[in-house]
Amino acid sequence: QFVESDDDEELLFNIPFTGNVKLKGVIVMGEDNGTHPAEMRLFRNIPHMSFDDAAREPEQTFSLNRDPTGELEYPTKIARFSNVYHLSIHFPKNFGAETTKIFYIGLKGEWTEAHRHEVTICNYEASANPADHKLEQITPQTHFIS
């Protein structure tokens, strides 16, 4: 099983994480021919990234070697990839074939639970408006116990 590009050699993977990841390394397996990717560009925390967004400057770029067995690990700059909740991997070119084939992408790192707080909408009164706080007339009642 593998992933193959459609029209040209470019491939883009968007990988959301359920927590925060400190990414330490990436492994890429392809065939030992021209369909193996020759370059890998990593982007962090850009959800729903498209090929148009891939024109921007990546966090890190790698020149890949042919690795059909998955023995090569490409270490990342840990300072740039210490708090990743979404990873985008762009493969812009291969070793000369029409399409690119990838059999395996391995990610090495540490996962921690995300502490994301939702936005809370609150309304506060700077000073109370008595018209908003009407009370029924309270009549005092006295009870005698004999």
pLDDT in tens, 3-61: 999 889 999 999 999 999 999 999 999 999 999 999 999 999 999 999 999 999 999 99
Find the length of the chain: 146
Say yes or no to pLDDT of 124 above 80: no
User: Can you give the residue range of the structural domain that contains 83?
Assistant: 3-113
Tens of pLDDT, residue by residue over 59-116, are 999 999 999 999 999 999 999 999 999 999 999 999 999 999 999 999 999 999 877 6
In a domain, 130, yes or no: no
In a domain, 119, yes or no: no
Q: State the total domains in the chain.
A: 1
In a domain, 30, yes or no: yes
CA atoms within 13 A on the CB side of 94: 24
Say yes or no to pLDDT of 118 above 70: no
Positive or negative CA dihedral for 58, 61, 64, 69? negative
In a domain, 9, yes or no: yes
In a domain, 139, yes or no: no
DSSP-assigned states of every residue in the chain = --EE-SSSS-EEEEEEEEEEEEEEEEEEE--SSTTSBSEEEEEES-TT--TTGGGSPPSEEEEPPP-TT----EE--TTTTSSEEEEEEEE--BSS-SS-EE-EEEEEEEEEE------------SS--GGGS--PPP--------
Q: Is 40 in contact with 14 (CB distance < 8 Å)?
A: no
In a domain, 144, yes or no: no
In a domain, 69, yes or no: yes
In a domain, 106, yes or no: yes
Say yes or no to pLDDT of 144 above 70: no
> For the domain that residue 81 is a member of, what is the CATH number?
2.60.120.470
Distance CA 36, CA 50 (A): 22
